[in-house]
Amino acid sequence: MTESSVQAWDILTRMSDVEKANAIIDIELPSGVNQNAIQTARTIENLWNDGQFDAAIATLQNLATEVEGAIAIGVSWRTPLVNEDASLWGPDIRIGTRDSIYQTSMDVIYASGTLFCILTYKEGSTYFFSVNRSSNSGQTWSETYTWAGGGDSLRSASGTCVSGVCWVGYASKVNPYQARVRRFNGSTGQTLPFANGSSYDTIFTSASPDTIKELVMFSNQDNLNNRVYCMLITRNGSLRFFWADTSGANWNQISTGITNASHGLSATWNEDYTSRPFWFSYISLNDSLMIYCKTTPDTTIRSYATAIGSGTKNTSITAYHDTIFCAYEYNVSGFECRYRISYGGTSWTWGNLCDTTITNEAPAATARRGGGISAIYRFYTPTRQGHYIHRTYQYMPWPDPVTYTNYELWWNKPSLVYLGGGDYGVVYLTTSSPAIRGAFFDRVAASDIGMAQSLPNAFSLNQNYPNPFNAKTCIQYNLPRATDVKIEIFDILGRKVQTIQNGYQQAGPHSLIWNAENFGSGIYFAKITADGESQSIQMTLLK
């Protein structure tokens, strides 16, 4: 039997007797099958789960001859699989014993601190994703579920948590490609069926010959905690956006109008920023970084676009209130990790995450829940290292990074999640030792790089710079406490010409860029009002 001939039943026959007894299976069929096939699949599940393994496999072999398309199998472990081999452990904690992993996705249920990590991997020609859970801040992990499909049957898998449940979306080749989703109980990690009794739901079916390239899942857990979202890219360049409430009963599509998406998709919810709650980034068909937001009502706005060179793979976008941050790969004279940052989403500045004389790649970033901005990336020292950096939301130089990996890491995009209390969880893949693309978990903290920072003790507005300026200038101010902030621009006659900030902001130093390209030369005044106080500065625009 060649690798290309691997079928769904082979996944079951490879199991040991102990694994068979520990496995509860469900059969996932292609779309459009008849009721007889669906009933046969239920019979197979009942036979297997009652211990009649040989009869279940024989019936599955017969079913495969009657069904056109790939058949997948979901396995819920009665007793979750725990890595108890001490030789596989080290300073960083290995997640399970799977290898040949090519994608990771991690999130946390903040109410309980429970972590979920989704690993996508391949054994022979069989594609899998596994659901892994930790209830002790990543100190130990258990695999609760595995999905398997023969052939080229799994494009992408991504997980997110909302309302105490982990949701896993995946792009599956089921005649034609579909985006499907499964749910897992946050307390146990076991499959959580939908209201109709099905173990999965279909989010989207592509129109032949178009197929799904990649997808990402995210949620509004950070404040509203009542919706889950899915974004995906298809091979014709379309970017699709869907949402459902926590029942998952109906998936609603929101039009984006985007037709130039290639890969590197990243998406985030922006808590408590109701005018622009969704942000997403991707790499376009012409090798440009694209940053968009969804506003309320449902309008897609392109916020930024810039060429980044060929061969780039990843973007990572994150947001908190008025701060939007996107890390990405840039490849013009060599790979490097750059970022774009905006305060409000109207103007952007850029910088590098690290030393550009040494190749660096595969960035991931998070700015959730008031923890500041953290980023990780792969650094090309002779032994490839994972580096971690952190800063506040508002402008300040990046401090020197710290190395968080104990093993040489692979080039894929790692996973980074804010755990709370200044701590972050990271999942990365090793290159070859102690496992070939094994998944490892580590914790990092802002305090690791000496980032303890005191808050301002008084409200203040600093002089803009440069001043005089041509077109753009930076305005800096300090807030001793969180409050609503309004910044208005007035001309020499005292007429208000623009409001550049109007909303709630956290305590600390802040800065924003005023873009005066549409204004004439002259004297202008910036007035800030916050917490019952007002201050003004004079600015000179010269063109």
Indicate the Cα dihedral angle 45, 215, 235, 291, nearest 10°: 170
Q: What is the mean pLDDT of residues 482-502?
A: 93
User: What was the pLDDT predicted at 273?
Assistant: 74
Of 127-136, 201-210, 443-452, minimum mean pLDDT range: 443-452
State the distance between the two ends of the chain, measured CA to CA, in whole angstroms.
74
**Domain span(s) for CATH 2.120.10.10 in the chain:** 150-449
For the segment 18-63, what is each residue's pLDDT rounded down to a tens digit?
Answer: 999 999 999 998 878 899 999 999 999 999 999 999 999 999 999 9
**Domain span(s) for CATH 2.60.40.1930 in the chain:** 460-541
User: What was the pLDDT predicted at 452?
Assistant: 40
Q: How would you write 76-87 as a 3-class SS string?
A: EEEEEEECCCHH
CA-angle at 171, arms to 169 and 173, nearest 5°: 145
User: What was the pLDDT predicted at 400?
Assistant: 86
Of 114-123, 272-281, 318-327, minimum mean pLDDT range: 272-281
Rounded CA gap, 519 and 513, in Å? 15
Q: Determine the residue type at 307.
A: A
User: What was the pLDDT predicted at 83?
Assistant: 77
Tokens 């937001």 belong to residue: 293
Cβ-based neighbour number of residue 260 at 10 Å: 15
Whether residue 209 has a cis bond before it, omega within 30° of 0:
yes
What is the pTM assigned to this prediction? 0.82
Rounded CA gap, 19 and 48, in Å? 12
User: What was the pLDDT predicted at 67?
Assistant: 83
Q: Determine the residue type at 375.
A: A
pLDDT-derived band of residue 174, with 50, 70 and 90 as boundaries? Answer: low
User: What was the pLDDT predicted at 507?
Assistant: 76
Q: Is 467 exposed, middle or buried (0-12, 13-18, 19+ CB in 10 A)?
A: middle
Whether the predicted pLDDT of 272 surpasses 80: no
Contacts of 459 by beta carbon, 8 Å cutoff, 6+ apart: 477, 478, 479, 480, 530, 531, 533, 535
Rounded to 5 degrees, φ, ψ at 29 are: -100, 160
Q: How would you write 387-431 as a 3-class SS string?
A: EEEEECCCCCCCCCCEECCCCCECCCCCEEEEEECCEEEEEEEEC
pLDDT-derived band of residue 2, with 50, 70 and 90 as boundaries? Answer: very low
Rounded CA gap, 181 and 236, in Å? 22
Rounded CA gap, 348 and 339, in Å? 10
- From the candidate CATH numbers 2.60.40.10, 3.40.50.11810, 3.40.718.10, 2.60.40.1930, the one assigned to the domain spanning 460-541: 2.60.40.1930
Cβ-based neighbour number of residue 429 at 10 Å: 27
Whether the predicted pLDDT of 520 surpasses 70: yes
Instruction: Report yes or no: 485 and 425 within 8 Å, Cβ to Cβ.
Output: no
Q: What is the mean pLDDT of residues 152-174?
A: 88
Identify each DSSP E strand in 208-254 by its residue range. Answer: 212-219, 227-234, 239-245, 252-254
Chain mean pLDDT for the chain: 89
User: What was the pLDDT predicted at 234?
Assistant: 94
Fold of the domain spanning 150-449: Neuraminidase (2.120.10)
Whether the predicted pLDDT of 226 surpasses 80: yes
Contacts of 367 by beta carbon, 8 Å cutoff, 6+ apart: 318, 319, 320, 323, 325, 373, 374, 393
Whether the predicted pLDDT of 149 surpasses 90: no
Rounded CA gap, 107 and 114, in Å? 9
Whether the predicted pLDDT of 483 surpasses 50: yes
* DSSP bridge partners of 488: 499, 527
pLDDT-derived band of residue 346, with 50, 70 and 90 as boundaries? Answer: confident
Rounded to 5 degrees, φ, ψ at 123 are: -125, 115
- Helix and strand tally (H, E) in the chain? 4, 37
User: What was the pLDDT predicted at 209?
Assistant: 84
* Stronger pLDDT, 328 or 137, i.e. the higher one: 328
* Stronger pLDDT, 502 or 471, i.e. the higher one: 502
Give percent above pLDDT 70 in the chain: 93
Q: Is 208 exposed, middle or buried (0-12, 13-18, 19+ CB in 10 A)?
A: exposed
* Stronger pLDDT, 297 or 198, i.e. the higher one: 198
User: What was the pLDDT predicted at 134?
Assistant: 96
* Stronger pLDDT, 526 or 177, i.e. the higher one: 526
For the segment 183-199, what is each residue's pLDDT rounded down to a tens digit?
Answer: 999 999 999 999 998 99
User: What was the pLDDT predicted at 436?
Assistant: 93
CA-wise closest residue to 379 among 342, 331, 335, 415: 335
Whether the predicted pLDDT of 5 surpasses 60: no
Whether the predicted pLDDT of 394 surpasses 80: no
User: What was the pLDDT predicted at 219?
Assistant: 97
User: What was the pLDDT predicted at 471?
Assistant: 82
Of 34-48, 81-95, 158-172, 318-332, minimum mean pLDDT range: 81-95
Side-by-side strand order, sheet with 165-173: 154-162, 165-173, 177-185, 201-205
* Stronger pLDDT, 465 or 111, i.e. the higher one: 111
Instruction: Report yes or no: 10 and 126 within 8 Å, Cβ to Cβ.
Output: yes
For residue 192, give the 3-state DSSP assignment. Answer: coil
Rounded CA gap, 137 and 93, in Å? 11
Whether the predicted pLDDT of 290 surpasses 70: yes
Rounded CA gap, 449 and 402, in Å? 7
* Stronger pLDDT, 171 or 106, i.e. the higher one: 106
